[in-house]
Amino acid sequence: MSISLKNISKSFNSSLALKEFSFNFTKGKTTVLIGPSGCGKSTLLRLIVGLMKQDSGTITIDNELLSNSNLSSIRERIGYVIQDGGLFPHLTARENLSLMPIYTGWNNDKISNRINELTRLTNFPDDGLEHYPAELSGGQKQRVSLMRALMLNPEFLLFDEPLGALDPLIRFDLQNELKEIFKSLNKTVILVTHDLNEAVFFGDEILLMKDGSLIQHGTITDFLNNPVEPFVTKFIKSQRSTIEIN
Amino acid sequence: MKLIKQNTLWFSTLLLIVFINLSSIAFSQSDKTIKIGSKKFTENVILSEIVTQLARSNNVNSIHIRELGGTRILWNALLKGEIDIYPDYTGTIIEEILADENVTYKNLKDKLSKHGIGIVYPLGFNNTYAIGMKTEEAEKSGIEEISDLRKHPNLKFGFTNEFMDRKDGWRGLQKFYNLPHSNVTGMDHDIAYRGLASSSIDVIDLYSTDAEINYYNLKVLKDDLQYFTDYQAVLLYRKDLEKTFPKVIDAIKKLKNSIPESLMIKMNSEVKINGKSEEEVAAQFIKNKFSIESNYVESTFLRRLWHNTKEHLYLVLISLSAAILVSIPLGISSYKNKKLGRFIIGITGIIQTVPSLALLVFMIPLLGIGSSPAIVALFLYSLLPIVRNTFTGLEDIPTSIKESAIVLGLSPFVILKKIELPLASRSILAGIKTSAVINVGTATLGALIGAGGYGQPILTGIRLDSVPLILEGAVPAALLALIVQWMFDLSEKVIVPKGLRI
């Protein structure tokens, strides 16, 4: 039991984004949230990192109830990567990476050692570190964003459509690399995507959501063989596989 | 980069030099200096200059605060001690300043003395109000006296703003003579003469000693019902001068009955028609009357330019720096607390809608005359662009960047300092630039309330109908605005982070 959501409800302007959502995310595993737009999958991540607050229900992280008082200490244990990277455009890649460690009180040696470790892990070119985000390619930006999330070696990694804005070739390479990284680091990962292939590729467990509720969770085999309702089959069929097109 | 740093250094040194110079003029006006004010027309400026030079020839420091404005401003400045002496006219004192106190020529001295004011009475000439028009027009229409105007209700009247408002001015005159005219416009006295010359107005008010009466060949209409009273020229001074500067009081008392009407008209026309400076004409008068060589400093173009530049920069730098220091925190508060923000931006927006001239004049009852009211008005005027640009600069930062900073775990203060303010810097700088340019332009109005600056030659230029003098203020003001703009463009390279300029 690591991240545990209990009866979470959240509404925006009277429309419900999450309805009585409950789930325990397993430690050391990669869980993928999937579902059509507006199903509440991104909202779930934003609640866990405290960017918004649920209307009712509780979020527990390692037996610690998430509240305003422990929010900042919990944030240091979470790495969060979003679709456009969220890099600070006025800082170089290195400065983007160093900001939080400096704030936490790391010395320069510790920071540059950690950056070296991460550039090797993510295959990021060393000379790219002195560049500004505007000078980096889309793939490189996401690598910096990933490194920034990993700097303080967090226990949890949350990804909100991290590869959504990349072109297919770069996306393919990064998918492979990310999977390697997840495997080697043995972190608890929650990844949001709308792409079933990506979900199958990454997910130890897949959560299919619709209209703020969890419809089914399990592996792709469970979804294919024992769909709990017709929507599951419909959603899987709507995502054509490459083989089918051929 | 190195070049830019050198430039900044150069600029800061220059600014420092200017500041030191400015503070020296600001502090030089100590208690040992006597301050003479003048109204916004030539005769008054000449009389004040005579007093200023007389004081100086008695080894007393004296400064002439020129062209301060109308009667009310001068009188209030005299009461508050912002000036010590200024010339006025008996009719104005009796009918306007002390209109509610039943003043007559007999008790004039006593009534003034109750306000702590002494009088040198009379100087020797009567500068009464009169009504005039072009001689040829008057002859064509057969107009000889003011009563004749009743038969010509379509004539266009252009009166000085003060004449329009005064009890002994147009309102009284219209009632007294039962004049039917409705086409009446208020304007500057010197502009009125030009309006008359170009026939865009037909009838104006005159001061009987105006040099233009002869110059434009004007017909002074006979005051057949004897509406206008006497306007004997006098000097009003603060009574405490009798103790602090007895020599000066003795000297100006010698001016009693020393200036006949013909001499005043001659001196007026020396300045207005022949283009001599008031200083020169005043010095000539003192030499002829008292056989004293008055050591006035003939102002050269460069000397005036330097002086006006110092005064103008003083107004702009202080008001703008204060506005920057106040507006950026206000903009940040507006961003952090949207409710408060609507209030702050609303208030600064309302200030911005007040016409700049009105804002300057509003400051007089609160802060008197001189540079302080002008600085406060300019400060208030500079707030909105900086507050609004700080607010929008922060507001326009993409949500994904703001949220990334929050989720990283940075504190709100660090986010503001390291992320938000640098990202908003371009917008904030643009706001400051807008404020600075508006400020440089608006500061020219400061001369109207005695703050000096580039507005001073513009004001004098309008009074003397001198385009070169107007340009002497207008061109440097425009250049300064350009320089300010250029300096901000340059500073953008230093202040705006490099990553945002790719």
Asked if B409's CB is within 8 angstroms of A76's CB, the reply is: yes
B429-444: pLDDT as tens digits: 999 999 999 999 999 9
pTM for the whole structure? 0.78
Report the range of poorest mean pLDDT among B135-149, B295-309, B372-386: B295-309
Q: Quick one: tokens of A221?
A: 């085999």
At residue B14 the predicted structure's pLDDT band, cuts being 50, 70 and 90, is low
* Mean pLDDT computed over B92-107: 88
Q: Do B422 and A90 touch (CB under 8 A)?
A: yes
A148 CB neighbours in chain B (<8 A) are 408
Q: Is A103 on the interface with B (CB under 8 A)?
A: yes
User: Residue B299 has what pLDDT?
Assistant: 74
Note the pLDDT of residue B333: 96
Exposed/middle/buried for A71, CB within 10 Å: 0-12, 13-18, 19+?
middle
**B462: helix, coil or strand?**
helix
- How far away is chain A from the Cα of B325, in angstroms, using its nearest Cα? 24
B-chain residue closest to A93, CA distance? B499
The pLDDT assigned to B263 comes to 93
Q: Taking residues B482-486, what's their average pLDDT?
A: 94
Query: Is 80 exceeded by the pLDDT of residue B36?
Result: yes
Point out the residue among B409, B423, B497 whose CB comes nearest to the CB of A100.
Answer: B409
Under the banding of pLDDT at 50, 70 and 90, the label for residue B15 is low
Question: Closest chain B residue to A73 measured between Cα atoms?
Answer: B409
The pLDDT of residue B28 is 45
> Which of A72, A76, A84 lies closest to B400 in CB terms?
A84
pLDDT for B108-121, tens place per residue? Answer: 999 999 999 999 98
Least CB–CB distance from B500: residue in A75, A89, A100: A89
Ranges of residues in chain A whose predicted pLDDT is under 50: 1, 245-246
Q: What is the pLDDT of residues A109-131, one digit of tens each?
A: 999 999 999 999 888 999 999 99
Q: What is the mean pLDDT of chain A?
A: 89
Give tens-digit pLDDT for B414-432. 999 999 999 999 999 999 9
- Reported as a single tens digit per residue, the pLDDT across B209-264 is 998 888 888 999 999 998 988 899 999 999 999 999 999 999 999 999 999 999 99
Select the residue from A88, A144, A156 to test the B interface by mutation, using most B Cβ atoms within 10 A. A88
CB distance B439 to B316 below 8 Å: yes
Task: Please tell me the distance from the alpha carbon of residue A233 to that of residue A225, in angstroms, as a whole number.
Answer: 9
Residue B300: pLDDT band (50, 70, 90) is confident
Cα separation, A243 vs B19, whole angstroms: 78
Q: What is the DSSP letter of B200?
A: S
Among A50, A55, A53, residue whose Cα is nearest residue A71: A50
- Determine the pLDDT at residue B72: 87
Residue of A nearest to B497 (CA): A90
> Does residue A201 belong to the interface with chain B, where contact is any CB pair within 8 Å?
no
Q: Between chains, do B498 and A82 touch, taking CB under 8 Å as contact?
A: no
Residue of chain A whose Cα is closest to the Cα of B417: A99
What mean pLDDT is predicted for residues B70-84? 91
Query: What proportion of chain B, given as a percentage, has pLDDT over 70?
Result: 94
- Judged against a pLDDT cut of 60, whether residue B27 lies above it is answered with no
CA distances from B123 to B254, B261, B472 (A): 9, 10, 34
- The fraction of chain B above a pLDDT of 90, given in percent, is 63
pLDDT band at B17 (very low <50, low <70, confident <90, very high): low
User: 10 Å Cβ neighbour count for B27?
Assistant: 8
Residues of chain B in contact with residue A129, where contact means CB-CB under 8 angstroms, are none
CB atoms within 10 A of CB B424: 25
Mean pLDDT estimate for chain B? 89
Beta-bridge mates of residue B234? B88
pLDDT over 60 at B5, yes or no: no
pLDDT at residue B31 in the model: 63
Alpha helices in chain A (DSSP H): 41-48, 71-75, 93-104, 108-122, 138-150, 168-185, 196-202, 220-225, 230-238, 242-245
Closest residue in A to B420 (Cα) is: A88
Tell which residue, B354, B329, B299, has the closest CA to residue B416: B329
Q: Determine whether the interchain pair A100/B410 forms a contact, defined as Cβ–Cβ distance below 8 Å.
A: yes
* Residue B2 pLDDT greater than 50, yes or no: no
Q: What is the pLDDT, as a whole number, of residue B449?
A: 84
Closest-CA distance, A227 to chain B, in angstroms, reads 36
pLDDT value at position A37?
85
B276 pLDDT above the threshold of 60: yes
**Number of residues in chain B:** 502
- Predicted pLDDT at B1: 40
A25, A232, B370, B460 from B69: Cα distances, Å: 79, 85, 11, 12
Q: What is the pLDDT of residue A38?
A: 82
Is residue A165 within 8 angstroms of chain B, CB to CB?
no
Domains of chain B with bracketed CATH: 31-123+234-290 (3.40.190.10), 129-221 (3.40.190.120), 301-500 (1.10.3720.10)
Mean pLDDT across B182-198: 87
Q: What share of chain A is helix, strand, coil (3-state, %, to 5)?
A: 45, 25, 35
Residues with Cβ within 8 Å of B402's Cβ and at least 6 positions away in sequence, in order, are: B415, B419, B420
Rounded CA separation B141/B284 (Å): 42
Nearest CA in chain B to A45: B407
Place of tokens 């643009």: B430
DSSP B354-392: S-HHHHHHHHHHHH-SSHHHHHHHHHHHHHHHHHHHHHH
Interface of chain B toward chain A, CB-CB under 8 angstroms:
400-401, 403-411, 414, 418-419, 422-423, 497-500, 502
